[in-house]
Amino acid sequence: MTSQAAPARHRDLGLTDWEYEQVEDRLGREPNGLELAVFSLMWSEHCAYKHSRKLLRRLPTEGPAVVMGPGENAGAVDVGDGLAVAFKVESHNHPSAVEPFQGAATGVGGILRDIFAVGARPIAVLDSLRFGELDSARSRYLFDGAVRGIGHYGNSIGVPTVGGEIYFERAYEQNCLVNAMCVGIAPRERLIRSAAAGPGNVVVLFGALTGRDGIGGASVLASAELSEEDESKRPSVQIGDPFEEKKLLECSLELLEAELLVSLQDLGAAGLSSSASEMASKGAVGVDLEVDLVPLREQGMEPFEVMISESQERMLCVVEPERLDEVLAVCDRWEVRASAIGSVTGSGRLRVFAGGELAGDMPVTALVDECPLYDLEPAAPADRTGPPQNLPDHRDPGETLLALLGAPNLASKRWAFEQYDALVGSRTVRRPDEADAAVLLLAPDSESGPAIAVAIDGNGRRTACDPYVGAVEAVLECARNLACVGAEPLGLTNCLNFGNPKKPAVAWQLERAVEGLADACRALGVPVVGGNVSLYNEGGGGPIHPTPVVGMVGRLPDATRAAGIAFREDGHAIALVGPFEPALAGSELDKHWGRLADGLPQIDLAAQARALAVVREAVRSGKLASAHDVSDGGLACALAECCAAGALGARVEWDATGVEPLPLPAPSDVRLFGEAPGGVVVSGPPAAIAELAETAGDTPVLTLGTVGGNTLDIQVFAATLRVLVEDLATAREGALPNLLS
């Protein structure tokens, strides 16, 4: 039974009374203070996924290219030539809402460590960001701080930030989303797993000193709703040092290349508690740690503080005793602190010693494998309407287009990405805003040859309208972005950002979104190799929009044929490829009208998969000049982006060709600004577009018009849109700087 003194203690640490009783049952006694702290973090939502783990079993995880799947620090896929690409996306939402600069910076640092913990050299970072509307001082503060934090860490360590997305919605006012994705590359045989092995082997901690910063940080903040008292949590946010991480990265890769390590694990949320217990669990062994051997930044730290500190830039490895001196010598050469702090045992227990005395003794299976898992109690919400906005009906279509291009969600994010170095590392072929996906050469410093494409996508607004369809669309959007540069997807990682899962409406959103992800991945044959779940993203203003973010990696045989978005030559033909059936429901225009649709049109996944293959092969042929998917703002905005990127106009008609992709004639605003998955705007020589139409099978290819002039002219039924290309570019480029000034 629970003691009378314990309830307040365990509740303060986030454990329910029932969970505390389970801890007592696993131990056969009451936990002491250190043990309770460790259990509270290991059984937190952030570490244990106790409200989502059952759902995640529905995702497909196997595929011919998979080298590492879920359960490791990062997933990895085979990209040929003896190489593997490791990648993962994770959230740092709650720390960033408290301290945006350090929260975002350490989010980048953490995801970098996940990549080199499996033996891969990080070669690219992408980010997916969500904030409140920019008329809010708080949102502007969070946005500015997060962008600076990402730029500071990535630029300092020398890893390019090559892509991402940024959205602004009222639903993210209290809880911003900062999701970071990292991609790394390694010889396939050099990849290493994190399972501890070999009783008698030495456990070595190397990297930065351990301090009180970050104690209870990510794991506690990410397991509860934030409130007006967030300011008091500022000390819980970790402090990052990218220069320390650079040394740690190079040291780790040298240790792996020399085959000096049995296993390797980064220290993230819950610090030594999670890294040691997870390594032991995967290897079915035990670990003994001596906290007095841990190098400290602050004196007087209690043993439980050492165990749960989330100080950054630290790694834990297992080393054979006879190789220990070699490991310490490599660390010394890189000026990285390294200390033997424990050993692998056959006990199946995590034992913590302080001053030679046993300070904690916990079964590894109880910490990692026997965390209580909960079934959700989903129920669809009754009301999904949004507040009225400021864009009236019946506006001139040209004015509507300029208003949408100047809206924060559609405006150029140049203000942000110019703070990032996209070229360091000499692999980047396509930079942000040049193409729908970033393209990175497998062999650096070459001008051609095989490459990978990476993208990250999500749309909380559309997922709020329909969690299932919104999640499907996120997968399709990412795959379509890869297809536009000629890449075939090999694997997917995800970050599921939702509110409080104990609330029926949020549980319904989460369950439906996971079903959508699973169905879309199966239809496209794309396995999920890893990911992250971030729950309790809500405060006084209610939950965020349900926001499943997906990152995808694909391969293309020739980087020189990766298409950009810009129209390139007068006289080129323009076509719309794919099963594109636009609707205003869930669109950016609908948002400006203050509506949040109750549902979205269903999707023919088989038709979408066929269209992706058509676009991918057309780009790989090298005959297309450009390819750009239709997404936020619909066809008119996609055409405007192609015109602005190439400083060329276009003349387009949608209803005069005799080809009707829609089942019934639609109003002009639906065709101009309606949104739906499936559409890709391509351009190229007329003969190439004609050949594409002949070879596309049952995938629609609708010739729309011609590149040329200095205006974008669109004729849809009786509506005519005519805007100078210069005005399109001004609306897109000037919006964010003006809103932030």
Give the C-alpha distances (Å, rounded to integers) separating 473 from 516, 527, 595, 598: 9, 16, 19, 16
Residue 441 lies in a domain: no
Q: 256 lies in a domain?
A: no
Residue 656's pLDDT is: 46
Question: Is residue 101 a contact partner of residue 110, using CB atoms and an 8 Å limit?
Answer: no
Q: Cα(138)–Cα(133) distance, rounded to whole angstroms?
A: 9
Q: Which two tokens stand for residue 356?
A: 């030679």
Contacts of 442 (CB under 8 A, 6+ apart): 79, 81, 83, 185, 449, 450, 451, 452
Task: Give residue-wise pLDDT tens across range 275-297.
Answer: 999 999 999 999 999 999 999 99
Packing angle, helices 605-620 and 504-524, rounded to 10: 50
**For residue 79, how many C-alpha atoms fall within 13 Å in the half-sphere facing its CB?**
31
Work out how many domains the chain is built from and give that number. Answer: 2
Query: Would 677 be classed as within a structural domain?
Result: yes
Q: Over the stretch 261-278, which tens digit does the pLDDT of each residue have?
A: 999 999 988 899 999 999
Tokens of 563: 């298409």
pLDDT for 12 equals 86
Which pLDDT does position 421 carry in this prediction? 77
pLDDT score at 214: 67
What confidence tens digit (pLDDT) does each residue in 638-686 have? 999 999 999 999 999 987 444 444 443 347 888 999 999 999 999 999 9
- Side chain identity, residue 125: V
Q: How far apart are CA 634 and CA 575, in angstroms?
A: 15
- Between CA 102 and CA 150 the distance in angstroms is 9
Judge residue 662's burial from the number of C-beta atoms within 10 Å of its C-beta, 0-12 exposed, 13-18 middle, 19 or more buried. middle
Question: d(Cα 266, Cα 111) in Å, to the nearest integer?
Answer: 10
Output the pLDDT for position 286: 97
233 falls within a domain? no
**pLDDT classification of 213: cutoffs 50, 70, 90:** confident
- Could you read off the pLDDT of 577-587 as tens digits, one per residue? 999 999 988 99
In a domain? residue 457:
no
Q: Is the pLDDT of residue 439 over 70?
A: yes
What global pTM score does this model have?
A: 0.93
CB of 311 closer than 8 Å to CB of 213: yes
Residue 726 lies in domain: 563-741
pLDDT tens string 303-348: 999 999 999 999 999 999 999 999 999 999 999 999 999 999 999 9
| DSSP single-letter state for residue 546 | P
Cα–Cα distances (Å) from 674 to 159, 581, 600, 668, 691, in that order, read 37, 8, 12, 9, 28
177-181, 212-216, 235-239: the lowest-pLDDT one: 235-239
pLDDT tens sequence across 351-405:
999 999 999 999 999 999 999 999 999 998 876 554 444 444 557 899 999 999 9
Please check whether residue 518 lies inside any domain of the structure: no
Torsion of CA 629, 617, 659, 576, to 10 degrees: 20
- Hey, which residues are catalytic here? 46, 92
Q: Band the pLDDT of 595: cuts 50, 70, 90.
A: confident
Question: What pLDDT was estimated at residue 383?
Answer: 66
Helix crossing, 467-483 with 605-620: angle to 10°? 20
CA dihedral 189, 193, 195, 200 (to 10 degrees): 50
pLDDT at 391: 44
Average pLDDT over residues 73-84: 95
Instruction: Report how far Cα 386 is from the mean position of its chain's Cα atoms.
Output: 26
121-131/161-168 β-pairing: parallel
pLDDT tens per residue across span 612-623: 999 999 999 999
Q: pLDDT tens digit string along 498-515?
A: 999 999 999 999 999 999
The CB-side HSE value for 593 (13 A sphere, CA atoms) comes to: 17
C-beta of residue 489 within 8 angstroms of C-beta of residue 482 = yes
For the cut 90, the answer to whether the pLDDT of residue 215 exceeds it is no
The pLDDT, as a whole number, for residue 443 is 85
How many CB atoms are located within 10 Å of the residue 665 CB?
Answer: 11
CATH of the domain at 688: 3.90.650.10
The fraction of the chain above a pLDDT of 70, given in percent, is: 92
Does any domain span residue 470?
no
pLDDT, average across residues 160-170: 93
Q: What is the mean pLDDT of residues 433-452?
A: 88
d(CA 90, CA 128): 10
Q: Is residue 635 part of a domain?
A: yes
